[in-house]
């Protein structure tokens, strides 16, 4: 992008979009700000600055830029949607902005789902469900809408699969509805309902490769190892990485780690999303393969940082986070049990408390990355390129009573975390029992006898950082509230 391109808005916009598509917003940001000032009446320059700022997590800049773009181009549906989305991410009222975007693009499902998220953020969850339900009733094969509605219903304590089940009564031979019904039950961890949905699909649509695949996975998750083996044998060798990961998961659960390791070896070079690395760790540890030390044994991969001095009043942060917990139940397809999780990207909110939180976290992450061991070829956590450091997502979890996190991974991230904001009182006896502690390297659902690699005591203000491919979960507290912030750091571009 040459200096002369600033004088040519058309060329500058095209070059800027190319940089964004190439995942290089850092190279664009400063010049996009200059272009937006120099060409203040050009909506595209404001739009480009907004897109760049969003890619870098600078919500205030993005919101201001999209607001200017929307005033300059009031009939542009994409700009209107981007303006609404930026307001939602920044924690500002956004329903009216989504309404405007919907008037410009009434058939855009992503706008309708964004509007529902904005309604939830403004305390209108019941209305969000009713409005989305009305659209889905008219368009029952809008699968993105079915999925969004199921998750909204689940977080408000309603039957998540109720709407898709009703749609199946009207359209019993629609394969996509059967797929979605099974998937929703799996996300809700209602395995009996998932099996019933598999059986209903088999009766209605007959034999199909997709159904055999799903049936094998459901059987494995239910612990029906022999039935899962039979179904996987029918399917033959997996033809996609996600199916290979599903098969590996079953082999680990069935206590056949040698077979799992062999299948992982066949696919690992094609595992761009790092789906297999968490299972490779389990297989190596189960078989006593010393390579697990290369993967997860280095103590520098786990960092504990005391952020309390930088965060200031933790009680103030806790009160602020509690106001963001609008749900009544745990989200689908997440590790939370006995608690709630905030929606959206927490660290994009444009609020002084969140600014302070983000600043303290960013400094700790930079220090953690700086002390990581040197690059190791093929290692999922120790690549050559370690910059830029970007947040891939952030949220708060509020657990109550005996709430806990099941063991899980964030394989699409690079670095994951747990930051403790508020904790219940723990007796010396409770501490000895590791009540509420973070467990790393444990996968109790799959390999109950495998010991954790490390147990970490929670303390207010403590931030724990660890590889996203490392299994992690928590032990329950007997009672009280546990309020945390968690986030993922995106894997930096390589090459």
Name the residue range of residue 457's domain: 299-489
94-113: b (≥16 Cβ within 10 Å) or e? bbebbebbbebbeeeeebbb
Has residue 203 been placed in a domain? Answer: no
- Domains contained in the chain, number: 1
Has residue 447 been placed in a domain? Answer: yes
381: CATH: 2.60.120.620
Has residue 425 been placed in a domain? Answer: yes
- In tens, the pLDDT along 296-341 reads 999 999 999 999 999 999 999 999 999 999 999 999 988 889 999 9
Do 417 and 457 touch, CB atoms closer than 8 A? no
Has residue 208 been placed in a domain? Answer: no
Question: Which DSSP category does 446 fall into?
Answer: T
Peptide bond into 390 cis (omega under 30): no
Has residue 407 been placed in a domain? Answer: yes
Band of residue 207 on the pLDDT scale cut at 50, 70, 90 = confident
Do 49 and 19 touch, CB atoms closer than 8 A? no
Has residue 333 been placed in a domain? Answer: yes
Neighbours of 70 (CB within 10 A): 25
For the chain, the average pLDDT equals 96
Has residue 433 been placed in a domain? Answer: yes
Question: Is pLDDT above 70 for 226?
Answer: yes
- In tens, the pLDDT along 83-140 reads 999 999 999 999 999 999 999 999 999 999 999 999 999 999 999 999 999 999 999 9
| Termini Cα distance of the chain | 19
pTM for the full model? 0.96
- Range in 3-17, 145-159, 392-406 with the lowest mean pLDDT: 3-17
Which pair of tokens denotes residue 34? 């200059």
Those residues with Cβ within 8 angstroms of residue 147's Cβ, 6 or more apart along the chain or in another chain: 180, 183, 184
Has residue 355 been placed in a domain? Answer: yes
Where helices occur in 396-451 by DSSP H, the ranges are 428-432
């Amino acid at each position: 992008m040459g200096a002369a391109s600033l004088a040519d808005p058309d060329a500058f916009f095209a070059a800027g979009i190319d940089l964004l598509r190439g995942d290089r917003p850092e190279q664009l940001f400063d010049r996009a700000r200059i272009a937006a000032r120099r060409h203040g009446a050009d909506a595209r320059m404001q739009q480009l600055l907004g897109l760049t700022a969003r890619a870098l997590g600078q919500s205030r800049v993005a919101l201001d830029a999209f607001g200017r773009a929307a005033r300059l181009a009031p009939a542009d549906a994409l700009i209107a949607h981007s303006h609404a989305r930026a307001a939602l991410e920044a924690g500002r009222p956004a329903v009216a902005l989504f309404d405007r975007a919907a008037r410009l693009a009434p058939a855009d499902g992503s706008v309708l789902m964004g509007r529902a998220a904005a309604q939830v953020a403004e305390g209108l969850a019941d209305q969000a469900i009713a409005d989305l339900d009305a659209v889905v009733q008219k368009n029952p094969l809008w699968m993105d809408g079915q999925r969004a509605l199921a998750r909204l219903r689940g977080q408000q304590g309603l039957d998540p699969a109720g709407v898709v089940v009703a749609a199946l009564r009207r359209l019993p031979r629609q394969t996509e509805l059967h797929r979605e019904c099974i998937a929703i039950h799996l996300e809700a961890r209602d395995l009996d309902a998932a099996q019933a949905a598999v059986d209903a699909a088999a009766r209605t649509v007959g034999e199909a490769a997709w159904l055999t695949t799903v049936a094998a996975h459901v059987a494995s998750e239910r612990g029906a190892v022999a039935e899962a083996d039979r179904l996987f044998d029918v399917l033959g060798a997996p033809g996609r990485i996600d199916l290979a990961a599903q098969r590996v998961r079953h082999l680990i659960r069935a206590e056949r780690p040698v077979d799992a390791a062999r299948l992982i070896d066949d696919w690992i070079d094609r595992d761009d999303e790092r789906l297999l690395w968490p299972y490779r760790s389990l297989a190596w540890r189960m078989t006593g393969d010393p390579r697990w030390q290369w993967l997860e044994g280095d103590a520098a991969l786990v960092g504990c940082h005391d952020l309390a001095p930088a965060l200031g009043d933790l009680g103030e942060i806790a009160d602020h986070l509690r106001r963001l917990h609008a749900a009544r139940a745990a989200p689908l397809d997440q590790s939370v049990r006995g608690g709630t999780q905030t929606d959206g990207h927490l660290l994009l909110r444009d609020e002084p408390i969140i600014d302070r939180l983000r600043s303290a976290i960013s400094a700790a992450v930079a220090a953690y990355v700086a002390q990581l061991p040197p690059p190791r070829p093929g290692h999922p956590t120790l690549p050559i390129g370690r910059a830029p450091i970007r947040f891939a997502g952030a949220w708060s979890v509020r657990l109550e009573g005996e709430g806990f996190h099941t063991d899980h991974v964030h394989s699409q991230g690079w670095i994951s975390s747990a930051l403790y904001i508020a904790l219940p009182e723990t007796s010396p006896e409770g501490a000895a029992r590791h009540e509420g502690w973070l467990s790393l390297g444990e996968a109790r659902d799959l390999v109950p006898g495998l010991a954790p690699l490390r147990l970490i005591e929670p303390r207010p203000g403590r931030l724990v950082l660890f590889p996203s491919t490392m299994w992690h979960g928590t032990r329950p507290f007997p009672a009280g509230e546990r309020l945390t912030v968690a986030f993922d750091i995106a894997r930096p571009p390589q090459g």
